[in-house]
Structure 1
């Protein structure tokens, strides 16, 4: 359920305190897991939730403990530990939601982190997948031909930004990962170090886009 999409309605109560109300799930899909359900049915969804809850209760704490050992999921990042991987390399999957030209995109970044206390961590991008939300079919649709032209993405765990491209040294259909210092080109499918992300913790300022 890491890539299911559920909207939240943010309001203020009578005392002026923020209040979040969970809406109806609009996308039910989990790429890269044991199942891939691209269909959406409101009544069936409710039945599935009840059935899944019963199955979880029957499985007991043993399965829960095993899952927690291999998948630490947060709002903006998932950490999945591969038992067969190298002992010094940590496999990480991060997911980013970003609006670009009125479309909601999901970027999934597979990478390895090699910790080094002296030189700092080394990052190796394994795979980058980009999806567009289709609210008619209630599914994430893969984007395989770039970002649709004229855009580039800057992504980190603290912010995400879609910008016009090409512009200066910002490349079209490129994804700049600020946390790892890498840039991924969607057209060539290659990842390289980015000079825009040389110093960790750098603050980036984006000028307002000119609307003609």
Structure 2
């Protein structure tokens, strides 16, 4: 990984323990959490038998769709704040997803990092049901070049904020990978969500 890549990896690693765990609105409406059956048995890898498509040339994402949990949302570019952490989508907009603009675009070789809120003060947000996804679920990302990158979900895991596996989530990938991140892992009225839900997917096709 290049020094630039290491720099943004460290910057967004800080994000996992900061804003994503602090935006819970209602502890009585806990979002679904993934079971161990949906996790990787070992290191991240495509599901056995699942096709692995050739990566695309870089192009910014404009929309994300996850049919099985009824997500259909615009995507916005996220940069880094003054403290070096990743900027966040506006909390008041419950149906917008952010993508780290200086990282890998979805569909290109490497790990594309995508983040969305699970809820806000008004209720459920775009990634509320992320933890309900199943291995093999489809994720579609519409790109500015007019192509739609089609991903298949390989696993979904939940981590405590003190045990977030930076390299596992943010590390380089030899194929076109996608990481979808939101908050989860229990809830505290004092500090908000206690961890993160991360969905891992890889490119299987292009439309």
Higher relative contact order (CA 8 A, sep 6+): 2
Q: State the TM-score, normalizing by the size of structure 1.
A: 0.26
Q: State the TM-score, normalizing by the size of structure 2.
A: 0.27
Larger Rg: 1
